[in-house]
Amino acid sequence: MIGLVLYFVFGALVIRYEKPVHFAAGYAGMSAAFSIVIGEPLVGTLLAGLILFAYTAFVYMVVDRYGDQVLAPIGVLVVGALILLGASYYF
């Protein structure tokens, strides 16, 4: 649940500051740090962090591209969150 909150917070920061790769790296890094703190294996956490970085960088770049419109970034973030939720329940 905290991951989704961070996902939307970093998404809002992307809309405001227009640095999608920086905030994707921050989100993936925080997610990996939380995983290590709760005791996940290091190699798996780093691999998951790289995949999460690639995914969120893509989503945040799309949000940055359409950030001047009202509903497009919100829709992209919501669909991205649904994909993240589905992936977390699948794996």
Q: What is the pLDDT of residues 38-69, one digit of tens each?
A: 998 999 888 888 988 998 898 888 888 887 77
Residues 5-12: what's their mean pLDDT?
A: 87
N-term to C-term CA, the chain: 16
Are the C-beta atoms of 21 and 57 separated by less than 8 Å? yes
> pTM for this structure?
0.80
Are the C-beta atoms of 7 and 30 separated by less than 8 Å? no
**C-alpha pair distances (Å), 14 with each of 7, 65, 88:** 11, 10, 23
pLDDT of residue 52: 87
pLDDT of residue 12: 87
**85 pLDDT higher than 90:** no
pLDDT of residue 20: 92
Radius of gyration over every alpha carbon of the chain, rounded to an integer in angstroms = 13
Q: What is the pLDDT of residues 19-38, one digit of tens each?
A: 999 999 999 999 899 989 99
